[in-house]
Structure 1
Amino acid sequence: MLQTIGEMYGHNRSGTSEFLLLGISENPEEQQVLFWMFLSMYLVTVVGNVLIILAISSDPRLHTPMYFFLANLSFTDLCFVTNTIPKALVNLQSQNKAISYAGCLTQLYFLVCLVTLDNFILAVMAYDRYVAICQPLHYVTVMSPERCMLLLSLCWVLSALYGLTLTLLMITVTFCGSPKIHYIFCEMYVLLRLACSNTQVIHTVLITTGCFIFFTPLGIMIMSYVWIVRTILRIPSNSNKYKAFSTCASHLAVVSLFYGTLAMVYLQPLQTYSMKDSIATVMYAVVTPMMNPFIYSLRNKDMHRALGRLLLGKVFQKLT
């Protein structure tokens, strides 16, 4: 669909048919270091998230709402890094750092869509923990398989529509001057900085919709954890308190990492956006998807057992 849109316009109204993704550094030696660093992080991210998905899908004991959404979060992170990092790796090893106008819009669409989807899934996971801890007797009914599929479908639809809306708005932007992007991928704020047309309306829409799209789920998470903490504090046994809180600790860590890195980049005026934000974006574009599998499996005994059975099963099959 986005490719068709790009071909429909051919290029934007200013005649720009491609952009140059120059990355964080133009120094050849630093580019080599960045290449191996990004490649290592990408491989770790892919292996980690694939293992999470395989472990959950292969273990019937993990076929619960919490792990269902965790598997989808891993799938989203896997798609997210695949949308951005391979092209960045090619650019680091190539003299031709061009990306077509349609390709840039396509990358932007999936970037916005998948970041938004991450945000929604994290909110649903917080709601799942709220129901499990605060309304345990109703958990099976409230978080039924049908309800989980409905929530996930809603997350996908809203994310796709939001990504499409912002991408269509970018088609109306006129670019002029140098098409150089000192970034590892096509990003909304960076493209708006290259515009020579008035982007005030687009920036207003971006801030308004962004606040709704990201702060509404954040509000759901905050309210969920307020009720969770209140419920946990009423538990008489300290061991049961610890057990209840430990089921939420990994999710809280991921939420903190996700929103912390996004806030570093986007909670600022467009005029102040600079190269340091390119480095900060690497945190949520590369580091966060890489860390999520480790955070969720670090202290999770169920995940330890599932991963152990998965890996040992593969080894046993090879030996036999």
Structure 2
Amino acid sequence: MRGNQTSQTSEFILLGLSDLTDFRIPVFLLFLFVYLAALVGNLLIIFLVVMDTHLQTPMYFFLGNLSTLDIFSPSVSTSHLPYDIFTGNRVILYSTCISQVFFITWFAYTEILLLAVMSYDRYVAICHPLRYTTMISTYLCIQLASIIWVVGSLFSLAHTLSALSLVFCDSTTIPGLFCELYQVIQQSCANTYLSDLLVLFLAINLGSIALSITFLSYVYIFKTILRIRLKDGRVKAFSTCSSHLTVVFIFYGTAFFNYFHPNTEEFPVGRLVSAVYTLLTPFLNPLIYSLRNSELKGAVRRALPRLTFRP
């Protein structure tokens, strides 16, 4: 047992980056820059999707949902970092920690499902272009988006209720930058078998389904592209899904990095890199879609006259 047990712990100790005292200002400026860039980039995409009629298609509807996630997720996960960096106070309230667990888990599940749906959308667009408008209707898009957000919240709620039932020790330390589900479960003084089983069952099953949809969609996409005889046709077809494929690789790559890098409690630099990677995907997604997408570039050019101040 680790210290005195209590099922009503009022606070945790968040390891964070408070031990990097010599680099507080550079670390803060780094996070501020990346976060603000992610915020501005994703807000711009949402603005363009809503305001530009050329972008009111299923592909950009789902991209707007992805940008919404990329605003919410880093806002929740890094909300405690400035306080940690400047005060060195590692204490985080129990209620705040559990709230982080809920929202971070919700956004993670939702993004996994959303990337799978976006993969299916690209599959239909490339493999069945003549049937695209009938197979991916506006009503279906709204239904799918609603289901994704609701399912993600229900799965997260199940995990959060499981975490609320755990028994914790006094002065429990969370070895990370924010309260992630698995780290919180590991700090419990009681038997966590049911909570671990729930994580494995829900995460592995949902992740396997989403990853299978993504993988199979791109198998058929590549088969279709390879059957196109003209090189220009192949390049054009691939360009319609290359941005999303890049985002998929970054998302799953950063996820594996966050869960398989060296012990964060022993390596403060590892925690710094983990924090950067927490913001990396939301920061890169707008850049990837804007730099590799001619329609978004055109939307930006059309939007500039509206945003320009005219006396």
Scaled by the length of structure 1, the TM-score of the pair is 0.89
For 1:253, the equivalent position in structure 2 comes to 246
For 1:9, the equivalent position in structure 2 comes to none
Number of equivalences: 304
The answer to whether residue 301 in structure 2 is matched with residue 298 in structure 1 is: no
Equivalent residue for 2:154, pick from 154, 161, 167 = 161
The answer to whether residue 164 in structure 2 is matched with residue 171 in structure 1 is: yes
CA distance change for structure 1 residues 183 and 14 in 2, over 3 Å: closer, same or farther? Answer: same
Q: Once the 2 structures are TM-superposed, how far is the Cα of residue 308 of structure 1 from its aligned partner?
A: 2.3
Q: Once the 2 structures are TM-superposed, how far is the Cα of residue 77 of structure 1 from its aligned partner?
A: 0.8
In structure 2, distance between residues paired with 1:299 and 1:149: 26
Cα deviation, 1:81-118, whole Å, max 9, x if unaligned, reads: 11122321222222434221111111110000001111
Q: Percent identity?
A: 38
Task: Check whether the contact 1:261–1:283 (CA below 8 A) recurs between aligned residues.
Answer: no
CA distance change for structure 1 residues 22 and 274 in 2, over 3 Å: closer, same or farther? Answer: closer
Paired amino acid for 2:258: V
Equivalences for 1:1-320 in 2 at 5 Å? Answer: 13-266=6-259, 274-275=264-265, 278-279=271-272, 281-315=274-308, 318-320=309-311
In structure 1, distance between residues paired with 2:93 and 2:291: 41
Task: Check whether the contact 2:6–2:170 (CA below 8 A) recurs between aligned residues.
Answer: no
Cα deviation, 1:124-155, whole Å, max 9, x if unaligned, reads: 11000000111111111111000001110110
CA distance change for structure 1 residues 22 and 311 in 2, over 3 Å: closer, same or farther? Answer: farther
Scaled by the length of structure 2, the TM-score of the pair is 0.92
Q: Once the 2 structures are TM-superposed, how far is the Cα of residue 15 of structure 1 from its aligned partner?
A: 3.8
In structure 2, distance between residues paired with 1:273 and 1:188: 16
Q: Once the 2 structures are TM-superposed, how far is the Cα of residue 267 of structure 1 from its aligned partner?
A: 6.2
SS of aligned partner of 2:92:
strand
Task: Check whether the contact 2:31–2:276 (CA below 8 A) recurs between aligned residues.
Answer: no
Paired amino acid for 2:101: L
Worse-matched range after superposition: 124-133 or 208-217? 208-217
Paired amino acid for 1:190: Q
In structure 2, distance between residues paired with 1:156 and 1:282: 25
In structure 2, distance between residues paired with 1:25 and 1:273: 17
Paired amino acid for 2:110: L
SS of aligned partner of 1:86:
coil
Q: Once the 2 structures are TM-superposed, how far is the Cα of residue 29 of structure 1 from its aligned partner?
A: 1.9
Cα deviation, 1:225-249, whole Å, max 9, x if unaligned, reads: 1111111111111101000001111
Task: Check whether the contact 1:24–1:182 (CA below 8 A) recurs between aligned residues.
Answer: no
In structure 2, distance between residues paired with 1:281 and 1:213: 24
In structure 1, distance between residues paired with 2:85 and 2:104: 20
Q: Once the 2 structures are TM-superposed, how far is the Cα of residue 26 of structure 1 from its aligned partner?
A: 1.3
Task: Check whether the contact 2:120–2:217 (CA below 8 A) recurs between aligned residues.
Answer: yes
Task: Check whether the contact 2:11–2:91 (CA below 8 A) recurs between aligned residues.
Answer: yes
In structure 2, distance between residues paired with 1:312 and 1:23: 44
In structure 1, distance between residues paired with 2:175 and 2:111: 25
Paired amino acid for 1:14: S
Task: Check whether the contact 2:17–2:85 (CA below 8 A) recurs between aligned residues.
Answer: no
Q: Once the 2 structures are TM-superposed, how far is the Cα of residue 283 of structure 1 from its aligned partner?
A: 4.9
Task: Check whether the contact 1:262–1:281 (CA below 8 A) recurs between aligned residues.
Answer: no
In structure 2, distance between residues paired with 1:56 and 1:162: 29
Task: Check whether the contact 2:225–2:237 (CA below 8 A) recurs between aligned residues.
Answer: yes
In structure 2, distance between residues paired with 1:211 and 1:278: 25
Structure 1 stretches lacking a partner, 5+ long: 1-11
SS of aligned partner of 2:13:
strand
In structure 1, distance between residues paired with 2:294 and 2:278: 28
Task: Check whether the contact 1:13–1:174 (CA below 8 A) recurs between aligned residues.
Answer: yes
Paired amino acid for 1:239: D
Q: Once the 2 structures are TM-superposed, how far is the Cα of residue 273 of structure 1 from its aligned partner?
A: 5.3
RMSD: 1.9
SS of aligned partner of 1:235:
coil
Cα deviation, 1:8-41, whole Å, max 9, x if unaligned, reads: xxxx943420112231341322232221111111
